[in-house]
Structures are given as structure tokens and as C-alpha cells.
Amino acid sequence: MFKDLREFIHFLENRGQLRRVTVPVDAELEITEIVDRICKQNGPALLFEQVKGYDIPVVINLFGSLERMSWALGVPKLDSIAQRMAGLLSLSLPEGFLGKLSLLNRLRKIGRFAPKTVRKAPCQEVVIAQEPSLDFLPILKCWPQDGGRFITLPLVITKNPLTGQQNIGIYRLQKYDHRTTGMHWHIHHDGARNYRESQKLGRNLEVAVVLGGDPATIYAASAPLPPGFNELLLAGFLREAPVEVVRCKMLDLAVPAHAEIILEGYVDATEKRTEGPFGDHTGFYSPAQDYPVFHLTCITHRKSPIYPATVVGRPPMEDVFLGKATERIFLPLLQMQIPEIVDLHLPLEGVFHNCAIVSIRKSYPGQARKVMSALWGLGQVGLTKVIIVVDEDVDVQNLSQVAWKVFNNIDPERDFLFIKGPVDVLDHASSVCGYGSKVGIDATRKMREEGHEREWPEEIRMDEEIKRLVDQRWQDYGLD
């Protein structure tokens, strides 16, 4: 597994999956246009070696394919992590002495993945405690109507002031000047929850912004974990080795020791400024709104650091594959809570929170509605605007097959379930920011108890014997 960002960069370059751009490029708009074209072509990661006005290179699109996303997590396919996750989650108390020993052994293995504290770290090779400035960073302006330049791949570390538990999330930071940025965390994010707890106590919230951790840690920061779950423990589980951490120079926070750059500072308990607009992963601009302000107090970094970034916009972009990793890795968690779920698909057109398609083993009337309601009651999945439920024989990854079943299997009056509740803050269609309507579509075969009095028709299928006969004689037909 990769110790740091640099090892992953070298790995990708050796496999022809990273290209170096050696000519000068502009951090304002030009890099975005290049990256957008590469993403739409399912192209490689890019390392921009000469960003105009800066000495630091920019690496981008590291996770921009299923293959690279799998490599980032040390597996050939993402589903293999799901199998490990399923084993981790099956921790119910077993029968017998040997079963209990097996459970204890598994718990002991999980403990080995907890972060490991070190005293010296590469991320603190250079320390700037006097007059630190953001001006040395090649921060991108991504889209023409963006409100400014944005740090787009920061791992933002905060601590709950009541429990002492650290949290890591990815929240964009708009650069205001050389010492301050916006802190764009949504109301349901753990970072925002820690901020509100600090506000109640009348305190500023210590914040460390990590740029360029190892790829598993970057992914873990994006994962929709339950409140209080340590993202670095998930990263250790994915790496099958603990993440090394070091205490910040001026904060009581632990940061990944092999990161490229650390920005230490605080978010003021009362101050807010206008943040945005920002060309978002929905493919639309999110509007300007007031958000808390991050104040920089210290910078540490490696010698000759690399600046990691991502560009979001109309999909497909790099973030699609981070979302696909979450879909596959966390499917066992959904199945543990909703056992009838067979598979899940979050289509890229739905930008993670607008659409979820699930297949289920249906055995009783109203089961599809029960699944919809259960999903709307689960964490970030609960923000999903459209949930489509199909039978277990439907391949939810095949949108053509899903559409065929939905368009043919539904009676709109009977099979649409409308509710109101929290929606993603980035949903520009809702009448009120963060609150709106959602719809569930039951495209399963209907039972008489569900109001379908007629016999449900069988799908057209050819006899297997005839299919084998045609297979055997295919060359005789002269159709190849």
C-alpha cells in the first residue's frame, strides 16, 4: 500500500496512467479546461510541472478511473473491499468457544489499523510560524463565474470539543487573502457539527487542513461515515496498515505524517463571509452564501511539496469514481441494515445525492416502500431525492435495463411515493435550501395485495435448448 501521495504518483507514472505537462499553464481556468477534456475522455492523471507564478507543481485527476480508484485502495477491483467490509461487519456474537476466539482475533486485527503517532514527520520538514501566507500555493480558479480561487481537495481536520474525537472531511476553501479562506461545510457535516459545539462554548474551533495525504486517507475523508467513526481507522483498514500521524506544531490535532502540506489555524466562532459562487459537481454553480472563516496561523510542508487538486463540474469528472468507491464499499453496510437489498447504483447523472437505484428480494407487499423509507432514514443516503426500487433480477448497473423495467412496470398513481424532508444543500431545484420533496418509484412486480388485480405478465425468453442449438449452428448461418 502507498505510504504517501508521491508513491502513488510514481506508481501511476510507471503504468502509463500519469502524464507530465511540462509547458507553463495558468492556475486560472486553463488547468480546468485541460482537466475537463481529459476527464471526459477517461484520460490519465496529470502533473503540471510549471504553473505560472508558482514553484509548486499541481497533481490532479489521480482517482479519475475505476482502475486508478482501485489501485489507490490497493485492490484490483472495488468489490473485493466490499467483501472485506462484509466480513468486518459480521461481528455478531458467535456460538461456542472457538467462535468467540475467532471474533476476538478479528477485533484485534481491526485495532491494528488505528493511527500510529510518530514524533518526526515529513510534513513538518519546513515550518512557517511567522507570517504564514497562502500565496505560495497554486490555488485554482476553476470556472469563469467562480467567486475566486478555491482549494478543492483539502482534508479538513477538526475535533469535537465535548468528546475529543477528531473528524476529517473534504470541504472546499475559497481563498479570500493570504491568511483567510471560507470554510464550506454543510449543516449535516461532522465538521459543521463540531463548529456548532464550539460556538455553544464560545470558542474558536481549531482546524488543520491537510493537502496531499496517501490515497486511502484522501478517499476515507470523502466517505459517508457515521458520526464519531475515525476516518483514519477506515484508511488503516483500507491500507491494511495504520496511518502514521504527528501532532500539529501549534494545535492539539493529529495530522497524517506523510502529507505534503499542512495549514494550521482556526475557524472563528462568530465570523462569516460570503463564499462562492462555485462551479460544483452537479454541473451547475452553487450560489454565494455566508460561511465560517478559516484563519491561517502556521504552515508546515515537505521539502519541494506537491499541491493536489481536483476539478468538479458536469459529470463525468474525477469525483464520480470516489462516489463509485463509496457505492461498492458501503453496500454491505446497507445490506446489514436492510437485508433485502441485492445491489445499489448511484448513477453519475444523479451526482451521488439525486438518484439511487436499488434491487431487492421482494417477498411481501409494500416492501419496496419499506426500503425507500429505510434509506431515507440513513445518514447521507437520506438526502437522496429519487429512489428507484426494482426486483433482484434487474441489473441496476445497466441503466437501459432499469429504464425498461421502470417505464413498463409502474402505474404512476400507485407506484410513486412523495415525501418531504432534508435534501442536499447543493440541490438547486428545491424551493428552500436544504429542504424539499423526494420521490420513491416502485418498479417491482406487483402483488394482488398491492392493488394489482390482473395477472402479472412473464418476460419474453427463448428456450435454452433453442439457444444452444443456434449457438452450435451459428457459423452455418453465414452471419458472422
The residues annotated with a catalytic role in the active site are 280
Phi/psi of residue 165, nearest 5 degrees: -80, 135
Cα distance between residue 470 and residue 476, in whole Å = 9
All cell numbers assigned to 229: 467513526
Query: Which cell numbers hold the place of 205?
Result: 474551533
Q: CA nearest 86: which of 369, 321, 341?
A: 341
Contact between residue 291 and residue 181 where contact means Cβ atoms under 8 Å apart: no
Distance separating alpha carbons of residues 313 and 308, to the nearest angstrom:
17
Q: How far apart are CA 291 and CA 275, in angstroms?
A: 6
- Under 8 Å between Cβ of 291 and 272: yes
Looking up cell 444523479 gives 350
> How far is the C-alpha of 162 from the C-alpha of 372, rounded, in Å?
34
| Cα 384 off chain centre by | 15
Angle between the 215-222 and 231-239 helix axes, to the nearest 10 degrees? Answer: 140
Identify which of 230, 217, 224 has the alpha carbon closest to the alpha carbon of residue 188: 224
DSSP per-residue string spanning 383-421: G-SEEEEEETTS-TT-HHHHHHHHHHH--HHHHEEEEEE
Own/partner pairs, 41-44, CB within 8 angstroms, 24+ separation: 42/316, 44/12, 44/16, 44/17, 44/18, 44/19
Mode of pairing for the β-strands spanning 386-391 and 435-442: parallel
- Cα separation values, 27 from 45, 63, 140, 298, Å: 17, 20, 5, 24
Cα–Cα distance for residue pair 70/73, rounded to 1 Å: 5
Residue pointed to by grid coordinates 388485480: 453
Dihedral over alpha carbons 436, 442, 447, 450 (to 10 degrees): 10
CB atoms within 10 A of CB 210: 24
Task: Reduce the DSSP state of residue 296 to 3 states and report it.
Answer: strand
User: Residue 72 has what DSSP assignment?
Assistant: H
Determine the Cα–Cα distance for residues 141 and 32; give it in Å rounded to an integer.
8
